[in-house]
Structure 1
Amino acid sequence: MNENAISLKEVELQRTHFQLGPIQLEVPKGYVTAIVGPNGSGKSSTFKLILDLIKPQKGDIKLLGKNISEDDDWQTKSRVGFLPELFSPHDNRLKASAKTEFVKKWYPEWDVNRYQELLRLFEVDDGIKLGKMSKGMRRKYEFALILSHHPELLLLDEPSSGLDPLAWRTMIDVLHRYMEPGDRTILMASHIVEEVKRLADYIVFMIHGRVLGVYEKDELFGSWHAFYVHGEQVNRKRVQAMPGQCGIEDTGGGMLRVITRMAPDAEDWCGQEHITITHRQALQLDDILAILVEQERTRLRA
């Protein structure tokens, strides 16, 4: 990760009932990074900070190597495509084609052929008023719009919200093809586990305004496991010493289910302690998130 598309250093945003940060986050260029977390964690606010739509109280933000808020930051932002989770109602009376005519003036690399290709692919009629479009249709239109100027960086906030399964598969395919040149970057926020598994190279966990860690996807799924162990000498107190232990559950019959975030080390430890692992199970993304959320709640109560 020698070059970063986005860098946030000690960034803080304070509101009456919420604090974001301090955030330390680097998004590597040429990869897909997914932010995962429950509602209200600060994912959408982070996107707005990156685009200078809201101002932090503290910290530094760089976008494509440039400090945001500079006089010529429009040139940097013209290299970015942003898909928000919610769309403004102010342009509901406009036909989609009218919005396109306005938007394309801001992008020197606007490609009308690419725009028309994407409209056909997503089966979108841009002669319809935006306020008359379904949620899924509006999202497909906006998706076509942000890709038509060949951005270097995509910021996608819940990109599949409102999409039917066929449109979702089309979106996944388009994003895979978008990343093929090797020098493009996606930062996305998503609740969809399958979406993250198919697209992401790196996963960021964000909970209660804090970044809890950045993980390489395959390494993450290889590290978080549930081990089922049993034996006369196996008890709760003993397995608490298992490396990376995050939770212990008695499943009956002398069997314990132990969650670890350090599966290779935990397996070696079990061998050294002569503890038999009868079954193991890789944790899914939502399982890992649930454990991290509970740990964070415990920290806040302490």
Structure 2
Amino acid sequence: MEQPAIKITGLVQKREQFELGPIELVIPKGYVTAIIGPNGSGKSSLFRLMLNLTKPDLGEIELLGEKVGVNDDHLLKQKIGYVPEQAIDIEDHLRAEQKTDFVRKWYPQWDVNRYQELLRRFEVDTSRKLGRMSKGMRRKYDISLAMAHNPELLLLDEPSSGLDPIAWKTMIEVIHRYMEQGDRTVLMASHIVDEVKRLADYIVFVIQGKVIGMYEKDTLLESWYVLYLDAGDNRHVDWRAIPGFQSVESTGGSMFKVVTGQAQEAQSWLETSELRVIGQQKLELDEILQRLLEQVRGV
């Protein structure tokens, strides 16, 4: 089995108001993986831990086969690009080109042509001070800077925050092109459903500091359905026996609406039980997340 891009083992970080973990997570190399979850679930904390910007209380993290926080990691970080959720305020007095001149010295693989190409595509003026840029312009600059050294691993924390629709579309195209080489990896946190659907190969659900599950995106979206049923004269159905059962709701008479996370298996079970499926509808990612959140909260 190929070495994963990220491996997290027994990770715990305790804070006064929040506890992250324990987390076990393996992110495959060569794919885009999206972390989604409600605000305050620990997504940004996880990125900071990966970059050794904060320390865990327990557990370990490996990036690109190297343990984080054990030895001098400057060589490892040369292989990583990072866009944080929030811009760094103390840099506001710098012009973008000044920050670039400083940052590029840390990356032997810095590709000035690639950097200039990204600036042109995103229409970024690097003569402006960072603090004078709009949120969207600052975001486009940060993405360009993070990708300019062609990193093996790209960590993106809410990358589209502040982007207008045209810039958002450009970002999607840029990431698709970045992945064409086949051996690069993106881990992104996002709450934009369409962004996840267009970019992600895998989805990790994080809720209240815990990883609820990791799924192959297409398989996940083909698994969660609302099924509309005609139970006929069958008034004593054991609904919870339906594979992947999530909920059931009467819609009048013999008609019912059932939500399942195992659509194919559920339909086979229903046919065997002589319950007729008269309609079906896929759940969107945000609806799936809401269902998982309700399970965690015991709603």
TM over 0.5: yes
The answer (yes or no) to whether the contact 1:236–1:248 under 8 Å persists in 2 is no
Residue 70 (structure 1) shift: 3.0
The corresponding residue for 2:276 is 276
- Counterpart AA for 2:280: R
- Secondary structure class of the residue paired with 1:39: coil
- Counterpart AA for 1:106: W
- Secondary structure class of the residue paired with 1:215: strand
Map 1:72-87 to 2 at 5 A: 72-87=72-87
The one-character-per-residue Cα deviations of 1:33-90 (angstroms, maximum 9, x if unpaired) are 0001000110000001111111000001101100111333110011000001101100
Q: 1:236 to 1:47 in 2, by over 3 A?
A: farther
Residue 128 (structure 1) shift: 0.1
- Secondary structure class of the residue paired with 2:298: helix
Q: Distance in 2 between matches of 1:92 and 1:72?
A: 29
Q: 1:234 to 1:20 in 2, by over 3 A?
A: farther
Q: Distance in 2 between matches of 1:62 and 1:34?
A: 18
The corresponding residue for 2:291 is 291
Residue 254 (structure 1) shift: 2.9
State whether structure 2 residue 249 is matched by structure 1 residue 249.
Answer: yes
Q: 1:75 to 1:236 in 2, by over 3 A?
A: farther
Range moving further from structure 2, 1-10 or 234-243: 234-243
The corresponding residue for 1:5 is 5
Q: Distance in 1 between matches of 2:17 and 2:114?
A: 43
Query: Is there any run of 5+ residues in structure 1 with no aligned partner, and where?
Result: none
State whether structure 2 residue 132 is matched by structure 1 residue 140.
Answer: no
Query: Is there any run of 5+ residues in structure 2 with no aligned partner, and where?
Result: none
Q: Distance in 2 between matches of 1:106 and 1:71?
A: 18
Q: Distance in 1 between matches of 2:297 and 2:109?
A: 46
The answer (yes or no) to whether the contact 2:231–2:256 under 8 Å persists in 1 is no
Q: Distance in 1 between matches of 2:43 and 2:123?
A: 30
Map 1:27-106 to 2 at 5 A: 27-106=27-106
Residue 235 (structure 1) shift: 4.5
The answer (yes or no) to whether the contact 1:250–1:257 under 8 Å persists in 2 is yes
The corresponding residue for 2:161 is 161
The answer (yes or no) to whether the contact 2:248–2:257 under 8 Å persists in 1 is yes
The corresponding residue for 1:107 is 107
Identity %: 56
Q: Distance in 1 between matches of 2:234 and 2:209?
A: 39
Residue 236 (structure 1) shift: 7.3
- Secondary structure class of the residue paired with 1:198: helix
Q: Distance in 2 between matches of 1:234 and 1:45?
A: 50
Range moving further from structure 2, 129-138 or 107-116: 107-116
Residue 237 (structure 1) shift: 4.8
The answer (yes or no) to whether the contact 2:223–2:261 under 8 Å persists in 1 is yes
Q: Distance in 2 between matches of 1:220 and 1:267?
A: 16
- Counterpart AA for 1:103: V
The corresponding residue for 1:131 is 131
Residue 234 (structure 1) shift: 4.1
Residue 182 (structure 1) shift: 0.2
Q: Distance in 2 between matches of 1:233 and 1:266?
A: 20
The answer (yes or no) to whether the contact 1:244–1:261 under 8 Å persists in 2 is yes
- Counterpart AA for 1:196: V
- Counterpart AA for 1:81: G
CA RMSD of aligned residues (A): 1.2
The answer (yes or no) to whether the contact 2:33–2:204 under 8 Å persists in 1 is yes
> Between Structure 1 and Structure 2, how many residues are aligned?
299
The corresponding residue for 2:265 is 265
- Counterpart AA for 2:293: V
The corresponding residue for 1:21 is 21
Residue 264 (structure 1) shift: 1.1
- Secondary structure class of the residue paired with 1:40: coil
Residue 253 (structure 1) shift: 3.9
Runs of 4+ that moved beyond 3 A? 233-237
Residue 111 (structure 1) shift: 1.1
The corresponding residue for 2:199 is 199
State whether structure 2 residue 232 is matched by structure 1 residue 232.
Answer: yes
State whether structure 2 residue 218 is matched by structure 1 residue 218.
Answer: yes
The answer (yes or no) to whether the contact 2:233–2:254 under 8 Å persists in 1 is no
